[in-house]
A and B are shown apart, each in its own frame.
Chain A
């Protein structure tokens, strides 16, 4: 055996690459392994004239063989294993473990939610109607039974969650169930956010967009024909509400045929009834007494003035 007084640099390079490939092995174990290998590599190098790589193959292969023979493969992956290695390192990181513990503590919230989602999703799928006052309650028969079913489902879901924590079996069916319910959250959430809107918006529409101008039972009134109790049609009667507001009928667009009353100062008076229209091209109302076919009933008039008033 020749002396290996100087360290061949090739051995060091080779060792460094083996060490890199064993990057995920616990430091103690790796150092022992590499100490073993280093001494042997020097002897290999001195016996083969220095070409370690030619004798032993690529350092990464050497490291893989070393790892396998040393029984280090089950818990570790080669550092060169790209995505999988990164993923496993990530999964074994203490920060993720803490996050998982935290998520596990929050699991009961999900149990309750999935109990509701299960009922809501089935109600959606079955096309059930929803309570108009409590939009989140499907009507199973009626909203009260719906509420009872939801409570029962939530209770069952929580019981299932507690049972799962104690057992290790049934993992796969539970995972499938959880995934399905997680997916069902989307349509249920959409229903809750969109489905509830028309119920809320409907009365708002009525209040914010009343029929403009005069209306009777929601239908627009475009003219009013006042008759005396004797059945005679009156002209240019000015009508006011109890609050003193003139009951104006005015079309938004200018109507050249409408006969408009004006005050002496020239202001328009739009609460004069019946509204009359000129003959086209003239300033004449052709039939001022025309009106709807009304048969004014014969009236037994009670006295307007009672007592001394």
Chain B
């Protein structure tokens, strides 16, 4: 299955989880998502998602000067973002369990 398709619906939850763990700027969030195993996540997808979550009030943002280049815009999670993340966790748990059951059953049948 195309993993980028799978990612599309779950990137919000993933980005929220990363930022909830620790505030981060765009490239930082991207790197942490990748190091968590989401290698197929697109740069632009992450930046766009962060902006959208910020507009929706799930993230807050602040600028920190950087001695390595342009200023960095850090994102932190808000109360609304935490609520959204909790909702996403619940949904994902149910969904992944259901899908795991389905797919494992299928393996047994075709094996």
Contact = CB atoms under 8 A, between A and B. Distances in A.
A40 interface: yes
B47 A4 contact: no
A36 interface: yes
A43 B44 contact: no
Contact of A69 (B11, B27, B73): B11
Interface in B3-34: 11, 25-27, 30
A38 B70 contact: yes
Interface string A1-27: 101110000000000000000000000
Interface string B43-61: 1111111111001000000
Contacts of A202: none
Contacts of A55: 43
Nearest to B30: A40
B90 to A, nearest CB: 23
B71 interface: yes
Interface residues of B, number: 24
A62 B44 contact: yes
Given A40-B27, A65-B42, A32 B51 contact: yes
Given A32-B51, A39-B70, A39-B71, A69 B45 contact: yes
Contacts of A44: 27, 43
Given A56-B43, A65-B45, A1 B52 contact: no
B44 A71 contact: no
Q: Is the contact region of chain A dominated by helix, strand, or loop, or is it mixed?
A: helix
Interface residues of A, number: 30
A64 B70 CA distance: 24
Interface in A26-47: 29, 32-33, 35-40, 42-44, 46
A146 to B, nearest CB: 63
A69 B51 CA distance: 9
Contact of B72 (A29, A37, A39, A71): A39
B104 interface: no
B44 A36 contact: no
A66 B68 contact: no
A173 B27 CA distance: 53
Contacts of B72: 39
Nearest to A71: B52
Contact of A36 (B26, B45, B66): B26
Nearest to B45: A69
Nearest to B4: A65
Given A36-B50, A66-B45, 10 more contacts: A36-B47, A37-B44, A37-B47, A40-B43, A43-B69, A44-B43, A66-B48, A69-B44, A71-B52, A71-B55
6 closest Cβ contacts across the A-B interface?
Answer: A69-B48, A70-B48, A65-B44, A66-B44, A40-B27, A4-B69
